[in-house]
Structure 1
Amino acid sequence: MDKLDTFKKIGKLEKLIHEPSRLAILTALMGCQQADFQFLLNLVGMTKGNLSSHLSKLESGGLIVVEKTYLGKRPITYLSLTEHGRKSVSKHWQILDDLRKSI
Structure 2
Amino acid sequence: MAEFDHNQIDDLIHSRIRLAVVAVLAGVEMAEFTFIRDQVKTTDGNLSTHLRKLESKQYITMEKRFVGRKPVTEVSLTVLGREAFERYLEHLESMLGLSK
Relative to the length of structure 1, the TM-score reads 0.88
Q: Higher helix share goes to which structure?
A: 1
Number of aligned residue pairs:
98
Q: CA deviation at 1:20?
A: 1.0
What CA RMSD, in Å, does the superposition of the two structures yield over aligned residues? 1.3
Instruction: Note the 1:32-71 alignment, pairs <5 A.
Output: 32-71=28-67
Instruction: Note the 1:1-103 alignment, pairs <5 A.
Output: 1=1, 6-8=3-5, 10-101=6-97
Aligned AA (2:4): F
Relative to the length of structure 2, the TM-score reads 0.91
Moved more, 69-78 or 22-31: 69-78
Aligned AA (2:94): D
Q: CA deviation at 1:91?
A: 0.8
Structure 2: state its 5+ residue gaps.
none
Percent of residue pairs identical: 38
> What CA distance in whole angstroms lies between the structure 2 residues aligned with 1:71 and 1:89?
31
Structure 1: state its 5+ residue gaps.
none
